[in-house]
């Protein structure tokens, strides 16, 4: 028995958050305001995501928490512990075993299925903020579908860098209507957003919740002559040999030696367990 | 029995005004901003609005452009799809659409009309993208073309306007407004706040664009030299009222109202 209500928040607050979530699901990509609560952690730690997760969890759920694709970073560990303590739910590092996954900066490599919920931690929910700081104006732009400004941002990118240099929080249009910030995931993950699971986004400080229901169309914005490119590093993973995953670059010695490994540690470990090998795999016999 | 066919009477071809302003009345907490203003603007016409500081020129312009609420009156605009429509009672989406397609507004202070954190090219391209342009190369080519027309070098197009002189900023604002070929341009003191030599160059440029594009425009200024050069017709305002209207040369050369006479003579003394 814990001293907390299940999943920390009181039932009335959870009900309020669930109403916002349902509204978000009913209007894909639309930012629903909600009365964000104080959580026993600082804002930068994903209080928005934590509140959404708290409102979704049932005692039967199994929770996975990742930060930059890893389950063992301080942020991921402390959020996981928080729910272990306040909700006494089962936790896992295995993507396939989780019913609720809270994430910061990544979408798991393993395709998610129906019955799973992916909860994103969002720092800045407003994709138009970059060029239009006035909240009243951005709200109007969403309402009237005035999204030309989003392309001005991409135009500026190309003018400055020769290509669309935005590589995180790459704006998308949801179901042909709302332009949405997918949170700071790499654009590599954008194509995965058309998925079978429910995607929920929580911004604590900004007090916004939005959602992408299963099988919703999610299109990354671009120009005809500069089409969206999810861009993939042209290396395989040095540990599991995967050629289709998002890789982190890791410095391995003082001499500037580097290796590339899957940022999704659970996925990489799963592949290695199945016998896949990469260039620097610790086993004697590397693949090829 | 055959119906007798009478030829239709010839109807004199009255041109449809592009803009028809009727009885605009605007107060600020009981004090008159402008009142009892009515006029028609025909396609290709440039109307100048002159008067001393505080006479209500900007108030009138902002009422017409829908920037501030009007107490009463109508601002009918000849829309492409529905003909003359009162823009003051139009739905907001419609009015905003008009503001980024058929209308343009040049502010006295360029920074009010530009995005200072966006490159010159991006500033010009914004209206194109707002109406659906999605080809970077085309947008850029049009931006280059328009920057050229306002005498801004192509090699400055990726610079932000904050790196531009006041005159360049104003020319950029004009390019940004004209790139979508608006049918009506509102300008509030477009040459105000600039050095005299810079003013002259901008005025030349504006005159060229007005002639070349056959622009319809309403220009507010207290500088009679500006209207002499640009405006076909003139409206003279005093204390929120229009005191005299007419062809520019007529009004300036043969002012009827005492206030206009004062205005003209005070300029002549300069
Ligand atoms: N926002 C406002 N609130 C209250 N009064 C205003 C406001 N704006 C203008 N006025 C008043 O309305 C009258 C007309 O002002 P307006 O700015 O339209 O004059 P103007 O002819 O454009 O002057 P200027 O040449 O100085 O720009 C003035 O008496 C002014 O003080
Ligand atoms: Mg004024
Ligand atoms: Zn791997």
pLDDT tens for each residue of A32-47: 999 999 888 877 788 9
Residue B268 counted as domain residue: no
Q: How far is Cα B122 from Cα A149, in angstroms, rounded to an integer?
A: 10
Contact A47, A122 (CB under 8 A): no
Please check whether residue A277 lies inside any domain of the structure: yes
pLDDT of residue A14: 97
CA distance B124 to chain A (A): 10
> Which residues of chain B make contact with A226, given a CB cutoff of 8 A?
136
Could you tell me if A80 and A174 lie in one domain?
yes
In a domain, A242, yes or no: no
- Give how many domains chain B has, as a whole number: 2
A180 shares its domain with A83: yes
B88-to-A249, B84, B91, B92, B252 alpha-carbon distances in Å: 58, 12, 8, 9, 32
Query: Measured from the CB, is residue B53 less than 6 Å from ligand 1?
Result: yes
Contacts of B218 (CB under 8 A, 6+ apart): B19, B41, B46, B47, B49, B61, B64, B184, B185, B186, B187
| pTM, full prediction | 0.90
> Residue A108 sits in a domain of what CATH number?
3.40.50.11310
| Calpha distance A107→A217 (Å, rounded) | 17
Q: How many CB atoms lie within 10 A of CB B64?
A: 27
A268 belongs to the catalytic site:
yes
Alpha helices in A88-194, H assignment, sequence order: 135-143, 148-161
A151 contacts chain B (CB < 8 A): yes
What b/e string do you get for A23-36 counting C-beta neighbours within 10 Å, with b at 16 or more?
bbbebbbbbbebeb
Tell which atom from ligand 1 comes closest to the C-alpha of B237.
21
pLDDT at B66 over 80: yes
Query: How many whole angstroms separate alpha carbon A121 and alpha carbon B211?
Result: 56
Q: A269 and A162 in one domain?
A: no
Residues above pLDDT 70, as percent of chain B? 93
Chain centre distance of CA A141: 25
Query: B166-195: per-residue pLDDT in tens?
Result: 999 999 999 999 999 999 999 999 998 888
How many other β-carbons are positioned within 10 Å of the β-carbon of residue A10?
A: 13
Helices (H), chain A: 11-26, 47-56, 74-87, 135-143, 148-161, 265-273
What tens digit of pLDDT does each residue of B243-252 get? Answer: 999 999 999 9
Cα distances from B179 to residues A210, B63, B155, B172, B230, in angstroms, run: 36, 24, 19, 11, 20
Residues of chain A with pLDDT > 70, as a percent, come to 97
Which of B171, B76, B41, B195 minimizes the C-alpha distance to B114? B171
Whether B147 and B137 map to the same domain: the answer is: yes
Neighbours of ion ligand 3 (CB under 5 A): A 237, 239-240, 242, 262, 268
Please check whether residue B5 lies inside any domain of the structure: no
Supply the range of the domain harboring residue B129. Answer: 112-181
Span B201-217, pLDDT tens digits: 999 999 999 889 989 99
Query: What pLDDT, in 10s, does the model give residues B90-135?
Result: 999 999 999 999 999 999 999 999 999 999 999 999 999 999 999 9
Q: Answer yes or no: do A148 and B126 touch at CB < 8 A.
A: yes
Q: What's residue A283's pLDDT? A: 59
- Residue A275: CB atoms within 10 A of its CB come to 9
Q: What is the mean pLDDT of chain B?
A: 93
Q: ipTM score here?
A: 0.89
Three-class SS state of A124: coil
Tell me which residue has its CA closest to atom 28 in ligand 1: B54
Structural domain count, chain A: 2
Chosen domain end from B147, B181, B215: B181
Q: What is the pLDDT of residue B3?
A: 55
Q: Are A242 and A277 in contact (CB under 8 A)?
A: no
Structural contact between residues A89 and A62, judged by C-beta atoms closer than 8 angstroms: yes
Residue whose tokens read 């814990």: A2
Mean pLDDT, chain A, integer: 94
Token pair of A54 as six digits: 């708290």
Predicted confidence (pLDDT) per residue in B7-18, tens digit: 666 666 678 899
- Domain residue limits at A262: 247-287
pLDDT at position A207: 96
Instruction: Tell me: do B119 and B221 sit in the same domain.
Output: no
In a domain, B8, yes or no: no
Residues B145 and B26 in one domain: no
């Amino acid at each position: 028995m814990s001293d907390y209500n299940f999943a920390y928040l009181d039932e009335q607050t959870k009900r309020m958050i669930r109403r916002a979530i349902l509204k978000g699901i009913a209007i894909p990509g639309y930012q629903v305001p909600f009365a964000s609560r104080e959580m026993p952690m600082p804002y930068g730690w994903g209080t928005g995501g934590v509140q959404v997760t708290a409102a979704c969890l049932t005692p039967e759920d199994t929770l996975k928490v990742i930060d930059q694709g890893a389950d063992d970073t301080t942020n991921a560990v402390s959020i996981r512990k928080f729910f272990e303590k306040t909700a006494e739910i089962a936790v896992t590092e295995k993507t396939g075993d989780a019913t609720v996954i809270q994430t910061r900066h990544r979408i798991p490599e393993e395709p998610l299925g129906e019955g799973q919920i992916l909860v994103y931690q969002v720092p800045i929910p407003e994709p138009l903020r970059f060029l239009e700081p006035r909240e009243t104006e951005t709200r109007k732009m969403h309402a009237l579908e005035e999204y030309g400004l989003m392309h001005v941002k991409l135009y500026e990118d190309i003018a400055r860098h020769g290509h669309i240099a935005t590589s995180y929080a790459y704006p998308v249009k949801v179901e042909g209507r709302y332009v949405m910030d997918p949170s700071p995931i790499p654009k590599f993950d954008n194509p995965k957003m058309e998925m079978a699971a429910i995607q929920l986004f929580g911004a604590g400080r900004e007090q916004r919740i939005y959602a992408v229901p299963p099988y919703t169309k999610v299109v990354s914005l671009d120009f005809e002559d500069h089409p969206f490119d999810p861009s993939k590093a042209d290396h395989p993973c040095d540990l599991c040999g995967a050629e289709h995953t998002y890789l982190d670059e890791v410095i391995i010695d003082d001499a500037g030696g580097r290796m590339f490994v899957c940022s999704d540690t659970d996925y990489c470990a799963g592949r290695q367990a199945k016998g896949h090998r990469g260039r620097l795999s610790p086993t004697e016999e590397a693949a090829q | 029995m055959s119906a007798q066919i009478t030829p239709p009477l010839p109807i004199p071809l009255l041109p449809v005004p592009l803009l028809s302003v009727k009885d605009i009345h605007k107060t600020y907490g009981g004090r008159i901003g402008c009142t009892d203003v009515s006029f028609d603007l025909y396609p290709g016409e440039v109307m100048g609005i002159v008067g001393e500081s505080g006479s209500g020129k900007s108030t009138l312009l902002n009422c017409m452009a829908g920037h501030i609420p009007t107490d009463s009156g109508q601002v009918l605009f000849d829309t492409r799809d529905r003909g003359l429509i009162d823009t003051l009672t139009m739905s907001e989406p419609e009015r905003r659409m008009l503001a980024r397609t058929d209308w343009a507004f040049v502010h006295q202070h360029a920074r009010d009309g530009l995005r200072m954190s966006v490159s010159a090219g991006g500033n010009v391209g914004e209206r194109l993208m707002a109406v659906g342009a999605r080809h970077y190369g085309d947008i850029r080519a049009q931006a280059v073309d328009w920057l050229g027309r306002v005498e801004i070098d192509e090699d400055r197009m990726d610079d932000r306007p904050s790196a531009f002189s006041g005159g360049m900023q104003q020319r950029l604002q004009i390019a940004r407004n004209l790139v979508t070929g608006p049918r009506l341009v509102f300008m509030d003191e477009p040459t105000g706040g600039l050095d005299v030599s810079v003013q002259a160059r901008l005025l030349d440029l504006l005159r060229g664009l007005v002639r070349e594009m056959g622009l319809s425009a309403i220009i507010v200024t207290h500088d009679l030299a500006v209207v002499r050069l640009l405006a076909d017709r003139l409206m003279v305002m005093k204390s929120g009222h229009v005191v005299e209207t007419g062809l520019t040369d007529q009004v300036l050369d043969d002012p009827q109202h005492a206030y206009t006479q004062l205005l003209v003579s005070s300029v002549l003394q300069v």
